[in-house]
Chains A and B, each alone.
Chain A
Amino acid sequence: MAQRYTRRKLLLGGAATGAAATLGFPYVQAQGAWPNRPVTIICPWSAGGGTDATARIVAAVLEKELKQPFNVVNRTGGSGVVGHAAIATAQPDGYNIGIITVEISMMHWQGLTEFKPDSYTPLALMNEDPPGIQVNASSPYKTVRELADAIKAAAPGKMKASGTGQGGIWHLALVGWLTAMGLRPDHVAWVPLNGAAPAMQDLAAGGLDLVTCSVPEARAIIEAGKARSLAVMAAERNPAFKDVPTLKEAMGIDYTTGAWRGFAAPKGLPADIANLLTAAFKKVNEAAEFRDFMASRGFGVRWADGPGFAKFMDDGNRAMGVAMKAAGLAKG
């Protein structure tokens, strides 16, 4: 503690350049205007969930990097709308940032909020989890191609799938896959359930034909021998499930999607602070503490800096718009 103080003091007298700061020297930043007080990270989802846990581990590592407390504040309510709005409307002073999730590219299509991915200053993309296609362990379909053939042969609405609520990310993953196969979005009926865990449970109980949810969410049931994962809608296989092929490998369908989490600030954040933050996030992304945590939860690690994250969100946003309009979920 004392040592840090003296080093900081020494640097206070020294002339540190902005270039050095962008390289991510934490001590150099202490002499500048930012950050000289605690930073708030707004999390739109409740404490204890995956997004909250991600925000908290990132905050813990950021704290070491930037030598200021990063406090995670859960602003829940309105199915994520309230928290996302709170991030977008906060002061763009670098002391209010937030963790934003895939829902920001979905909710505005439904007319639930005016905020879109471009309502923020994107800082860093940290995580993406693509959906898998899971069936009951006793299901006759051994490969995703067999399942797809069965879906095509079945009468519309005969097969039942779930993974989350109506219009949720995993519902749209199914819609996207069906559309890519040239089928109607409702060819497989969607059973709205309150999240992936109840869906996987109902799959095991024999109530559903398939579940599209992320592989980490399905992991425990798969490992219990109650379900099988046939494919992932991703560009690459999941290292934890090397045997599960991608859709492209198995069927030649180049359709990928996923639930993601990233960090953003309100629009109008000064570029120098945004650069400092992105540099710090990059260090967090590479830190062993963060990697170990994500691996232990089975969460996929992704990295994109501000502009990269903006493009990623923009592409995702447009794809969501197409899928949601196809499924009749979008307004207007």
Chain B
Amino acid sequence: MSTVTEAFALVLQTDVLLAILLASIYGLVVGSLPGLSATMATALLVPVTFYLSPIAAVATIIAASAMAIFSGDIPGALLRIPGTPASAAYTDEAYAMTRKGQPELALGICVWFSALGGIAGTLSLMILAPPLAEMALSFSTYEYFWLAFLGLMCATLVARSSPVKAIASMLLGLLVSCIGIENPAGTPRFTFGVTDLLGGIEPIPALVGVFAVSEVMRAMLNPEPPKLPYRRFGSILKGQLELTRTYVKPQVRGNTVGIIIGVLPGAGADMAAWVSYSMSKRLSKEPEKFGTGHPEGLIEAGASNNASLASGWVPSLLFGIPGDTITAIAIGVLYMKGLNPGPTLFTERASSMYALYIIFIIANILMIPLGIAMIRVASLVLRAPRASVMPIIVLLCAVGAFATGNNLFAVLTVAAFGVIGYVMERNGYPVAAMVLGIVMGTMVEQNLVTSLIKSDGNILPFFSRPVAAVLAAMTIAALLWPIGVRLRSWRPRSAPSA
């Protein structure tokens, strides 16, 4: 008990509380700007943490990353431009709700269920850290291969277009992910001697291009849509309690999936959102409503990506293995501040650990009032004339892309993908599926090739390891499902004609 009191004493310091508040506001702003990701928000905080006490330093990272993941939903819902890759999975859904005249409901869902998901993730961190970490450590490349493959199959589920076009988009994304030298062979591929292409196409500039720039191009060509009837935003939290009661199952599922994916090093919030959204659609009683502004998928995926954020700290804290890019940065800060990751952190520095838990909870609770304030400010965008919003978006995209590496190449990438995204959407190819291909492609290839090297070309370990076998069964079942459904509906009709 005394450690808990000690932990509260550590957190309830003016500098820590101030750090949480300022980092939260900072995270909200950065996350809501298209092109600036939660990872970047965290990376930019590192120099600041040099000057903070250990607990305050970690608090800024926790608060900023949680806020940034949520606020990435805001431009997604209002403008159909996801602020972070973690929001890309359900951007169309949230935007559809806005077009239906329910922007406050969509954003309310985002903030409310993000906060609940974050708290669920924190509880898992508190209660289940050691067993979860053991589970994560039992994942070898074989298991990761299946997991990434399963992720790729979400492509057909998140899109509302024909599955063939969705798969084509995803394959295009896979092709893009082949570019560069960061492949298992360490050989430059598709670089055409261009130095900038050696590093490959980063998912963030590609995402910003296909969503934001192509949206701006569309806006330039199409007449302005009928203005949404102006009214003050209603209560943002109204109806959330009722939704919480109605959609208990999707929430539990979203949180569980988020926690599990978050714990696995290298997977992270982006993948959690994709898997949860497609799972929600597949298991829903009303899958036909998905994509038309239906809250169910939004709830599940919004909870999932925030839950994964907290559980991503489990392997980081226990083994120093980053769960995602954000915790990779956080580990550096932990070392710098003498909070070396490892089991001793849980035993010898238990009060610091409890302090981290408390900070997670505070940040997620703080997300609700600050998030609402941010939504109110951001909602002004809907009232602004399109002619003034669009150029600002282009400017933000260019600045954001440049900021990721101080490299003009990223800006050109954004522009190129803007054109690609525009042409694709115009012809009914879902861009979200391509983004999925770019994000997952490296993971699929890397894990397949390294697994085969380890097994001397034998494919048996992909099925003989227990966890791999379960994942393989799930993947194959998901592959065969549509064929099974087709067969069942085809037989009765074909019987008479035969």
Q: Which residues of A come within 8 Å of B, CB atoms?
A: 46-50, 52-53, 56-57, 60, 72-79, 81-82, 85, 112-113, 157, 160, 162, 165-168, 189-194, 197-198, 200-202, 204-208, 219-221, 223-226, 293, 296-298, 329
CA of A74 to CA of B403, assembled, Å: 9
The 7 A-B residue pairs with the shortest CB-CB distance in the complex, in nearest-first order: A220-B320, A166-B186, A48-B329, A47-B43, A76-B405, A78-B198, A48-B43
CA of A191 to CA of B142, assembled, Å: 13
Beyond A74-B405, A193-B141, list 11 extra A-B contacts (CB 8 Å): A48-B42, A72-B47, A112-B198, A166-B184, A189-B453, A190-B453, A192-B453, A201-B319, A205-B137, A205-B139, A329-B186
B50 touches A56 (CB 8 A): yes
Asked if B406 is an interface residue, CB under 8 A from chain A, the answer is yes
A160 touches B328 (CB 8 A): no
CB distance from A142 to the nearest CB of B (A): 22
The interface residues of chain A lying within 8 Å CB-to-CB of B454 are 160, 191, 207-208
A194 touches B405 (CB 8 A): no
- Which of A60, A113, A157, A191 is most buried by chain B, counting CB atoms within 10 A of its CB? A191
Q: Of B315, B335, B405, which contacts A77 at CB under 8 A?
A: B405
Q: Of A77, A189, A200, A220, which contacts B199 at CB under 8 A?
A: A77
The interface residues of chain A lying within 8 Å CB-to-CB of B141 are 193, 202, 207
Asked if B181 is an interface residue, CB under 8 A from chain A, the answer is yes
A81 touches B198 (CB 8 A): yes
B320 touches A81 (CB 8 A): no
A sample of 17 cross-chain residue pairs with beta-carbon separation below 8 angstroms, ordered by A number, consists of A47-B43, A47-B329, A48-B43, A77-B407, A82-B195, A168-B186, A190-B453, A192-B450, A193-B446, A200-B319, A201-B136, A219-B340, A220-B321, A220-B341, A225-B343, A226-B319, A296-B336
The interface residues of chain B lying within 8 Å CB-to-CB of A189 are 453
Cβ-closest chain B residue relative to A205: B140
Cβ-closest chain A residue relative to B461: A207
B332 touches A49 (CB 8 A): yes
B199 touches A191 (CB 8 A): no
CA of A105 to CA of B180, assembled, Å: 20
The interface residues of chain B lying within 8 Å CB-to-CB of A112 are 181, 188, 195, 198
A165 touches B184 (CB 8 A): yes
CA of A224 to CA of B195, assembled, Å: 40
The interface residues of chain B lying within 8 Å CB-to-CB of A53 are 46, 332, 336
Bitwise interface map of B from 390 to 412 toward A, beta carbon under 8 Å scored 1, else 0: 00000000000000111101100
The interface residues of chain B lying within 8 Å CB-to-CB of A194 are 182, 266, 446
Asked if B456 is an interface residue, CB under 8 A from chain A, the answer is yes
B195 touches A78 (CB 8 A): yes
CA of A205 to CA of B264, assembled, Å: 13
CA of A166 to CA of B342, assembled, Å: 29
The interface residues of chain B lying within 8 Å CB-to-CB of A224 are 318-319, 342-343
Bitwise interface map of B from 164 to 183 toward A, beta carbon under 8 Å scored 1, else 0: 00000000000000001110
CB distance from A4 to the nearest CB of B (A): 20
B195 touches A223 (CB 8 A): no
Cβ-closest chain B residue relative to A168: B186
Contacting A at CB under 8 A, from B420-473, are 446, 449-450, 453-454, 456
Cβ-closest chain A residue relative to B409: A77
CB distance from A252 to the nearest CB of B (A): 31
B453 touches A197 (CB 8 A): no
Q: Of A47, A73, A79, A296, which contacts B335 at CB under 8 A?
A: A296
The interface residues of chain B lying within 8 Å CB-to-CB of A329 are 186
CA of A197 to CA of B320, assembled, Å: 8
B328 touches A48 (CB 8 A): yes
Asked if B185 is an interface residue, CB under 8 A from chain A, the answer is yes
Asked if B497 is an interface residue, CB under 8 A from chain A, the answer is no
